[in-house]
Every structure is written in structure tokens, then in C-alpha cells.
Amino acid sequence: MDLKTMARDKLRIESFRGDSRAQLIGGSAAGLVVLLVVMLLVLATCGGSGSSGAEANGKGGSGGSGKEASEAVVEIAPKDGADEVATSGALRVSAGKGKLTEVTVKEGKGGDGEEVEGKIAPDGASWKPATHLATGTKYTVNAIAEDSEGRESAKHATFTTIVPKDTFVGYFTPENGDTVGAGMPVSVNFNRPIAHRETVEKAISVTAEPKAEIEGHWFGDRRLDFRPEDYWKSGTKVTLDLNLNGVEGSNGVYGKQRKTVKFTVGRQQVSVVDAKKKTMTVTRDGKKIKTIPITSGSPQNPTYNGKMVISEKYKVTRMNGDTVGFGGEYDIKDVPHAMRLSTSGTFIHGNYWTPQPQFGEVNASHGCVGLFDRRGGGDGGTPGAWFFKNSMVGDVVEVKNSNDATIKPDNGLNAWNMDWEEWTAPQ
């Protein structure tokens, strides 16, 4: 409003005041009301709209919040848009002049994929992932930090991990959904040699319900087995988690698996073969259920001693001496009810070519354990047929009192032939 206008308004007010006095002297109450209304309107017009809440409370400003920017600084490594990022050791989020309050890392450009587990340090200065990242994957990072005044600062970044030229996988036993016997270890065989064995083992977990202490043991650079100290309890639920995608197994060679496998322990069955007595006693969940006459390895070819786990079952199979170092000594094309006990060729199987009276009396095989049977495997009433029907992969066959050495723990799924102290010792 200019000076001339203000002067005119003042004159109007003074004139109006004079008129109002006359009316009041005349006793007009209505005139007083009119006077007050007009004065309020004039004052509002003179005040205009330039004043603000900030001016009214003495803080000044332009009508905004007046809040200063946060002093906290969020840093994300690798930098936004980076490619060929390492799957381990490269991702880190930190805060300067403040503390991290929230960090989210997810797969996908839009951050709509699986979340990466991680933890903010107790002092709030940094965040690291709990595990390695996957290869050839885009990640989205969102982080928030607060300064000492509680003011927030945020940062966003995306990056893509390395795409390896060479990869490896692990082939596992048992399979997802299997029901197995109590002697079944978890065995992982890798298709390429593993140099960084500790790193690979950390990326594999085996858990059980009910809980059990489970440890891994390496046999060379391609095989890793897991087992508890004693046989699994009946009904145990076991979970194998293979988080190998992004793990560098050897220089420049990365895993590409991310898989969960679950299996159930059906029962605890242990069949003890006494090579001297030429009998086998079958015990299930602590209860003896059957004793069977057997024939085992001859004095020239004795059967291994030790705890052996059934790894395969065949109703009928061929056994050829050429495949296990016995030349042309035998080639039986229709061995009934055969169950593998070792990689080197030890089986427990039906035997129709030995006269029945010799079972329990003579050890005459090339190292296998034989049970009387009929040719073709169709007769359900023979000892061979009964044992086949009442056995499952993962059951234990323990041989004692034989004139041979104890079988090696990596010759088949025979981890139980190594004591717990040796199994868990650093490798």
C-alpha cells in the first residue's frame, strides 16, 4: 500500500470517528456496532497478507519449516551403476556424522527380489551383508542415517555382480523328499576341484529337527559329507541348504546353485553280519526282528569289516568280475535283490547259485554278503527277498569278525567308520 492511499484511509477513519461520536452522543447502540465493524475491516486492509506465522512467533523466515539439512552422510560401496562387482567383500554401507538406522539390499533393479541379510554395527557406523552375493545379479541398495539432532539423510544405489566364465555345482545325496534309513549321511560331490574348501563349506548348512550337532568332513577336494556323532534318530527331519551361487570355489570358479533339500529319517535299522558265525541279526529301533543265515567272503576274498550304508537297491542286476578286479572269475547277469554297500563293489544280495544248506555254514563269495534266494527275484518267501523288502537306502549293515580290514569311510556312504574326534578335526 502506498503513502497516498494510507493518508486517505487515515482521513476517512478520523472523519468516521467524528460522525460516530455524534451518533453515540445521540444514544445509538447500532452506530457503535457499525463503527467497530468498519474499523476491523480497515485494519485488515492496512495489514495486508505479507505477515507470516514465522514473523508472528518471532522466528522470521519465508513461511517454510525452517529445518536445517541433516549432517549425516551415507556412503555406499560399490558406487551407483557399477558392473562386474565381486560377490564377496565389495558391498559395504557406512555413515559419517551420524548413525545408520535402516539398510535394505534386494535383488532386482526395482528392489523387488530376495532381500540380502545383513547387520548394522553396534555403533551404527557401518552395515555388511551376512553372506556372499549371487553372480550376474543386479542389486538395489537403500540406506537411511540420522545425525545427532535426529535429522535423516538417505541414499540409493544399484550395481551388478560379476558374471563368471567358469562355474561349479554340487551333486547331493539323498534327494529332496526322500525317506531314508538312520545311517544316511549328507554327501555333496562337486564337479570341479574345490581349492577354497572352508569358504564353500560355510555356504552349505545341514540342520535337523529334533536338533543335532552336525559337522562336515572333506574327502579330497571334490567331496564333502555331513553327519551327526551317532546315527540319526527315527523320524528326524533334515534340511540341506546349498547357498553356492556366488561362492568362489577355486580362483575364478564360482558356484551357481541355490537350493534347499529336505528328507526324513524313517527308522533306525542296523543289521549286524558276523562273518565268523555266518549269521546276520536285524535290529530295528532297538528291537531284534530277525536272524538270517548268510555266506560272506571266502578266506581268499574276505568281506570288509565295518559299518556300511545301503546306497542303492536293485531287484535284479548283473555282476561282472571284470568291473571290480576279478577278471573273468564270474559274470552273473541276474543277481536278485542286490543292495550296494560300497563304491568298490561290495553288495548284500540274494544268491540262487549256492545250495541252501551252505548258508550259515560256508563263506564262499568274492567279498559280498549273500542270502539264500530264488532266480529272478520273484519269490517273496526267501531270506533274500525278505531282507530286500524290509530294507531301505540309508539302512546300516555292519560286518564284524571278518579277516579283512575296516572299510574306508569314503568307500561308499560309510562315514561312520571314522570316529567323531577325527571327523571334526581341522582339515
Q: What is the pLDDT of residues 334-362, one digit of tens each?
A: 999 999 999 999 999 999 999 999 999 99
Residue 57, pLDDT score:
34
Give φ, ψ of 109 to 5 degrees.
-60, -35
Identify whether 42 is part of a domain.
no
Q: Which regions in the chain score pLDDT beneath 50?
A: 1-66
Question: DSSP assignment, residue 354?
Answer: S
Residue 331, pLDDT score:
84
Residue 177, pLDDT score:
98
Mark whether 308 and 405 lie in a shared domain. yes
The domain boundary, picked from 234, 267, 300, lies at: 267
CATH (domain of 243): 2.60.40.3710
Identify whether 333 is part of a domain.
yes
Residue 207, pLDDT score:
98
Identify whether 425 is part of a domain.
no
Residue 98, pLDDT score:
96
Domain interval for residue 235: 166-267
Mark whether 273 and 409 lie in a shared domain. yes
Mark whether 153 and 132 lie in a shared domain. yes
Whole-angstrom Cα distance, residue 361 to residue 276?
10
Mark whether 276 and 416 lie in a shared domain. yes
Mark whether 228 and 297 lie in a shared domain. no
Whole-angstrom Cα distance, residue 56 to residue 47?
13
The domain boundary, picked from 247, 267, 287, lies at: 267
- Residues near 36 by Cβ (< 8 Å), separated by ≥ 6? none
Per the structure, the count of domains in the chain is 4
DSSP 266-278: EE-EEEEEETTTT
Mark whether 321 and 394 lie in a shared domain. yes
Identify whether 68 is part of a domain.
no
Mark whether 171 and 224 lie in a shared domain. yes
Mark whether 327 and 407 lie in a shared domain. yes
Identify whether 44 is part of a domain.
no
Antiparallel, parallel or unpaired: β 179-181 and 258-267: parallel
Residue 242, pLDDT score:
98
Mark whether 138 and 221 lie in a shared domain. no
Residue 35, pLDDT score:
34
Mark whether 229 and 152 lie in a shared domain. no
Give the closest residue to 74 by CA, choosing from 124, 130, 115, 131. 124
Mark whether 116 and 80 lie in a shared domain. yes
Whole-angstrom Cα distance, residue 74 to residue 94?
6
The domain boundary, picked from 210, 233, 267, lies at: 267
DSSP 101-131: EEEEEEESTTS-SPBPPEEE-TTSSEEEESS
Residue 36, pLDDT score:
37
Identify whether 64 is part of a domain.
no
Supply the residues annotated as catalytic.
Answer: 349, 368
Is the pTM of the predicted complex or chain greater than 0.85? no
Residue 31, pLDDT score:
39
Mark whether 146 and 31 lie in a shared domain. no
Identify whether 65 is part of a domain.
no
Identify whether 274 is part of a domain.
yes
Residue 316, pLDDT score:
95
CATH (domain of 149): 2.60.40.3780
